[in-house]
Chains A and B, each alone.
Chain A
Amino acid sequence: MGMPLLDVQDLKTHFFTEDGVVQAVDGVSFQLEPGQKMGLVGESGCGKSVTALSIMRLVPDPPGRIVSGRILFDGVDLVQIPKEEMRTVRGRRISMIFQDPMTSLNPVFTVGYQIDEAIQLHQGLEREEARRKTLEMLETVNIANPDRVANSYPHELSGGMRQRCMIAMALSCRPKLLIADEPTTSLDVTIEAQILDLIDDLNRKLNTALLLITHDMGIIAEMCQKVAVMYGGTIVEMADTRTLFKAPRHPYTVGLLRSIPSLSVEKTDLKIIPGSVPDLINPPPGCRFHPRCEHCKEACKRERPKLVDVGGGHLVACHL
């Protein structure tokens, strides 16, 4: 297969706040091939969004900083390159879309203007040329009246349309990697399905790799080829989707899958994972999950487990 498109090696991003150092991402490593669709799943606060922001180097610098690690994108270490170069990467070779399209689009500019801006920036085109491309892009995301929509303001459009425009804007310069941070969490279910279909479609058509961040296992099952489960700032299990769902090894993953309510099985109580998310300023020593783990042993309390291959590229970080 050759060199992976994205190769994250032992990324650590910490936030230096008044109350202490928040170790939001503490040693995350994974790889992504060109055109591959990968999911990053976990509870709120486990560090998945911060990982994505770190890749884009968008971590707000006064409190946060990438402390160590390498992020190789097409062979270039994104952590080391100068700021100007990173700017050419953003939007052009890696794009990101965010959770709430209402607040992610600037309310005082028309949608078309914002997309034009991206195109003009990275492709150096004139206003009319850029506008033509914008309209093209809007059609690609299945918007019926691209002209009318382009001249509308974000608050005049519906949630689904806004998210489509965000996608259009992100993909307008044909990036090689699209990072989607909970793209459908604020949309209702029917729209969610449309958006996911669209993303899937575009991934195939444009061969854009996808890093999908979500807390919804259902979306992962539907969309992704490869999954990484994050907990407490680290990846605890990573495998291709089928394997993960069929044979999860890490207790946390097991717990997650078990807690999905199922329509087919008869009514039982909802299974939960007891306890709550760890404090990332003072994480529990050893394995981060051990306070909530049913199978916790002495070793788990002392030593942090490393990711180990248990067969066929299925990586688990557990002492069991």
Chain B
Amino acid sequence: MREYILKKIGLMFVVLMGVYTIVFALCVAAPGDPARIALGRADNPLARQILREKWGLDKPVIQQYFQTLKSMITLDFPQSFRYRENVGDLILSRLPRTFFLGVIAIGVSILIAIPAGIVSAYKHNSIIDNITMVASQIGVAVPNFWLGLMLIVVFYTKLHWFQIGAPEHLLSLEGLSKVALPAITLGTGMAAVTARLTRSSMLEVIREEYIMTARAKGLSERVVILKHAFRNALLPVVTVIGLQFPLVVGGAVITEQVFGWYGLGQLYIRSIAARDYPVIVTTTLLFTIGVVVTNLVVDILYTYIDPRVKYEKVK
């Protein structure tokens, strides 16, 4: 088991290096001079030269590659081109917002989707089942950002139920009312997929023999379904939630754009437009780390949920 984790971590590093290299290559290849963009109207060759030197852009590419790599590893982040701050500080100031949004979105979607899936599976082909199925179909088909815009129109412009923008303090009434719509937008896609998957997984599990045994023992339906069936149905659901994570990250980027939520996603897009290389590279790596770590966590979680899963060498 430990071997497995180590191997996975090793793989993780390979992937990260691969991503880093590609990102770096893209930044190098991409035209557009960050210095020129940063200077704007004050642009002149001398100023540009000074800036480039300051940012280390005049050194040979290979050297930049390793230098940036080193600074990542030692966590000694360079300064952002566009903002005056340290990349590290910059990210840290934005991360909580994105994290908050993500957690609420994922949390709410799981809280709604999984019970919906269970109930639909139990009352197969009933009205609730049909409604859930249709709702999840629509949930998947609706484009993220469009849903956000429509929600803004209906719930903010017309009904004034919620607010929009980036809140000062996250855990306040203001914060909650501002996070509601973005969270719904972000969570819908994932909720739809999770609901459908939970339903189909539960349907399969309910037909297994051991459910019959559990009933034969005299257990109440509730216990049979929620304890015996659900634990077994959970496995593929957990996997898929893990797989959804990169999509959620991508969705967060777009959602933040729609709602003006000053988080990591927005930072990312602006940095790309401004060729803010340090931020681009660091944030990309951060996202990738998030994705890979989530996968690893899901794998490990698997062994706790399903005792049949063992990552040992089969002799």
Contacts and interface: CB of A to CB of B under 8 A. Distances in A.
Does A touch B (CB under 8 Å) in the complex? yes
Contacts of A122: 218
Nearest to A110: B307
Nearest to A84: B220
Given A98-B209, A103-B208, A118 B232 contact: no
B308 A105 contact: no
Contacts of A95: 216
B212 interface: yes
B217 A91 contact: yes
B216 A108 contact: no
Interface string A306-319: 00000000000000
Interface in B269-313: 305-308
A98 B218 contact: no
A117 B215 CA distance: 12
A103 B204 CA distance: 13
B220 A106 contact: no
Contacts of A155: 307-308
A58 B210 contact: no
Interface string A54-98: 001010001000000000000000000000000111111001101
Interface residues of B, number: 20
B142 interface: no
A98, A108, A117, A166 interface centre (most CB from chain B within 10 Å): A108
Given A98-B209, A153-B307, A153-B308, A106 B214 contact: yes
Given A106-B232, A153-B308, A155-B308, A98 B213 contact: yes
B218 A91 contact: yes
B228 interface: yes
B308 A103 contact: no
B139 to A, nearest CB: 27
Contacts of A88: 218
Given A91-B218, A118-B218, 10 more contacts: A56-B216, A87-B218, A87-B220, A92-B218, A104-B213, A106-B213, A106-B228, A107-B232, A107-B307, A108-B307
Nearest to A99: B209
Nearest to A91: B218
B305 to A, nearest CB: 7
Contacts of A157: none
A181 to B, nearest CB: 10
Given A87-B220, A122-B218, A98 B212 contact: yes
A10 interface: no
A109 B307 CA distance: 8
Contacts of A104: 209-210, 212-213
A320 interface: no
A90 B215 contact: yes
Contacts of A96: 216
A107 B308 contact: yes
A33 interface: no
A106 B205 CA distance: 11
Interface residues of A, number: 28
A212 interface: no
Interface of B: 124, 208-210, 212-220, 228, 231-232, 305-308
5 contacts: A91-B218, A92-B218, A104-B209, A117-B219, A121-B219
A100 B217 CA distance: 16
A155 B210 CA distance: 13
A87 B223 CA distance: 12
A58 to B, nearest CB: 6
A169 interface: yes
Contacts of A90: 215-218
Nearest to B228: A106
A100 B307 contact: no
Contacts of A87: 218-220
Contacts of A98: 209, 212-213, 216
B212 to A, nearest CB: 6
A121 B217 contact: yes
For the complex of A and B, the 8 pairs showing the least CB-CB separation, nearest first, are A91-B218, A90-B218, A103-B209, A91-B217, A106-B210, A153-B307, A96-B216, A104-B209
Contacts of B306: 107-108
A108 B212 CA distance: 15
Contacts of B208: 103
Contacts of A91: 216-219
B231 A108 contact: yes
Contacts of B217: 90-91, 117-118, 121, 169
Interface in A119-140: 121-122
A106 B307 CA distance: 11
Nearest to A88: B218
A166 B217 CA distance: 11
Contacts of A89: 218
Contacts of B228: 106, 109
Contacts of B231: 106, 108-109
A98 B11 CA distance: 45
A109 B219 CA distance: 15
